[in-house]
Amino acid sequence: MRQPPRGRFITLEGGEGGGKSTQARLLAAALAGRGLPVLRTREPGGSPGAEAVRGLLLGQAVARWDGVAECMLHFAARREHLAATIRPALEAGLWVVCDRFADSTLAYQCFGQGVPRAAFEALAGVALEGLRPDLTLVLDIAPEQGLQRAEARGDTNRYEALGLAFHHRVHQGFRAIAAAEPDRCALLDATLPMAQVAAAILATVQARLPR
């Protein structure tokens, strides 16, 4: 077993249009403003090898791979991201703020695309070697509203095109993950104004991860 990392690992999760990327940026800036060393990163991607897999995944038609193969690609990218970016940062004492992580695979590929949970668990076991976020902020928004927001900013990708029923399953998936692991996860209302969501995130980080 590896030595426990010294930094803190915070992930932001949720469906489309919940404002994760904006909130990841605001949180990273707030932590840095408090004098903490911060690294902001994202998935799929976050290291050169993982960004190459991202290009493969997001640039292709949905039917290109079956769900399990897609799950494997996400975990291949994640493994590379962990090795090249996240673990070294945690070992150096950084606070890592990551826009999406393994919960996205569980929500999108298992709840959304129907990949068996056992496949997820097996791949997570191999790829993560026991590493899990210290805190996961789940930005909760109804898919109708989230997709509308994503469309309004012209930000649609292959998953966004999968249809409303798919996104309802993903949404329920994120809620189920948050309910199953309340110690790790906090479910936050992403329909509130951006500044209020940011304040709720900061309060949660301060309460759950005292310095």
Site residues (CB under 6 A) for ligand TYD? 16, 20-21, 43-44, 58, 74, 100, 104-105, 108-109, 157, 159
CB of 77 to ligand TYD, least distance (A): 8
Which of residues 37 and 55 has its CB atom nearest to ligand TYD in the complex?
A: 55
User: 157 vs 206, which CB is nearer to ligand TYD?
Assistant: 157
Q: Which is nearer to ligand TYD, 16 or 140 (CB)?
A: 16
Helical spans, DSSP H, in the chain: 20-33, 48-58, 67-81, 87-91, 102-104, 117-128, 143-152, 164-180, 194-208
Q: How far apart are CA 52 and CA 50, in angstroms?
A: 5
Q: Helix/strand/coil (H, E, C) string of 144-174?
A: HHHHHHHHHCCCCCCCHHHCHHHHHHHHHHH
Q: How far is the CB of 209 from ligand TYD (least distance, A)?
A: 22
Residues constituting the chain: 211
Dist. CA 109–CA 28, nearest whole Å: 28
Q: How far apart are CA 73 and CA 68, in angstroms?
A: 9
In angstroms, what is the minimal distance from the CB of 115 to ligand TYD?
10
Kindly tell me which of 8 and 78 has the beta carbon lying closer to ligand TYD. 78
Smallest distance from ligand TYD to CB 12, Å: 9
**In whole angstroms, how close is the CB of 100 to ligand TYD at the nearest point?**
4
Query: Nearer to ligand TYD by C-beta: 22 or 36?
Result: 22
Closest approach, Cβ 147 to ligand TYD, in A, equals 10
Q: Which is nearer to ligand TYD, 157 or 196 (CB)?
A: 157
Cis peptide before 133 (omega within 30 of 0): no
Please choose, from the candidates 43, 38, 46, 139, the residue with its C-alpha nearest in 3D space to the C-alpha of residue 97.
Answer: 38
CA distance 47 to 28: 18
